Copies of this chain bind each other. A is one copy, B any other.
């Protein structure tokens, strides 16, 4: 590999001039610039990113930290970020914490060690230690998906209250009253907001919520399945189930199918967030989806803005909340 010193020698200038020519060509005379250009081409010089990062104290990498890269929600956002970053000569390092807070922390520390230029973080933690940790990081960070109280960073997400309310209202309009809700972890804002949207919409309609019909699905497959089973074996069975995310809703569908319930004939189902191949799932689930492309785009722009603008670091954090979209299916019937 050719180094900058090889270039300098061949062009008969000093190393620092070559470096300057690369970072700020305007400050080098045109004939020197030309000599350097030719020398670079002749020896096939490419700057070593590691050496640059070490010297600069900043790399051209962006860390992307989520709980599950397989989730198409995160996948869409990742793609947007990658495209935008690549256009701005940055490289996205994708990491997956499997939803575990300690692992996420380890990954973030790794990324910080790599002197990443910035972080796009879907936080999984929520306690004070975690919040302090995120606050201590001296790097541009854009958080998304999960709004964590106490983290003073840019945030990009969707109106989860609205998402829960929309589907609840839909089910109410179809005549449902015994509506079950499968929740997520109580420490996740997305989960509590979606539930609040459900509960308040029910209350506004004057419908009382049977506490037995609110079960905890933890946003996971196993807990969601179990929660759904508990719903289905009740004598006062719900006429509709609202899953607070894609995983618990589809777990409920699986439980229904296994026990022999038909959807929507026996029980209606609605969910928040899409999954891959939802179009071939029978019935097509009625859902509210987030505008992942827009979210990804905002995250990317906001992050690059903070990275590239010198004064970007001191701008106060800002929240971007998008409106989710209703996607009708045929999993909810009128009763």
Contacts and interface: CB of A to CB of B under 8 A. Distances in A.
Interface residues of A, number: 38
Contact of A70 (B250, B257, B276): B276
Contacts of A254: 279-280
A282 B281 contact: yes
A124 interface: no
Contacts of A91: 110
- Which of A49, A51, A95, A113 counts the most chain B CB atoms within 10 A? A113
Nearest to A111: B91
A110 B70 CA distance: 23
Contacts of A51: 54
Interface stretch (A15-23, A71-79, A210-218): A71-79
Contacts of A282: 257, 281-282
Copies of this chain present: 2
A75 B68 CA distance: 9
Contact of A79 (B92, B98, B276): B98
Nearest to A275: B277
A115 B70 contact: no
22 contacts: A48-B54, A48-B113, A49-B110, A49-B113, A49-B114, A50-B54, A50-B59, A50-B115, A54-B54, A69-B94, A70-B70, A70-B71, A70-B72, A70-B75, A70-B276, A92-B95, A94-B96, A253-B280, A254-B280, A276-B276, A280-B281, A281-B281
Interface of A: 46, 48-51, 53-54, 59, 69-72, 75, 78-79, 82, 91-96, 98, 110, 113-115, 250, 253-254, 257, 275-277, 279-282
Contact of A276 (B49, B82, B275): B275
A199 to B, nearest CB: 27
Nearest to A47: B113
- Which of A50, A96, A98, A279 counts the most chain B CB atoms within 10 A? A50
Contacts of A78: 69, 96
Contact of A50 (B46, B53, B70): B53
Contact of A69 (B50, B70, B115, B279): B70
Nearest to A60: B110
A51 B59 CA distance: 12
A257 B276 contact: no
A247 B114 CA distance: 36
A322 to B, nearest CB: 21
A79 B110 CA distance: 17
A276 to B, nearest CB: 6
- Which of A48, A250, A277 counts the most chain B CB atoms within 10 A? A277
Nearest to A278: B277
Contacts of A113: 46, 48-50
A284 B91 CA distance: 40
Nearest to A282: B282
A287 to B, nearest CB: 14
A46 B113 CA distance: 9
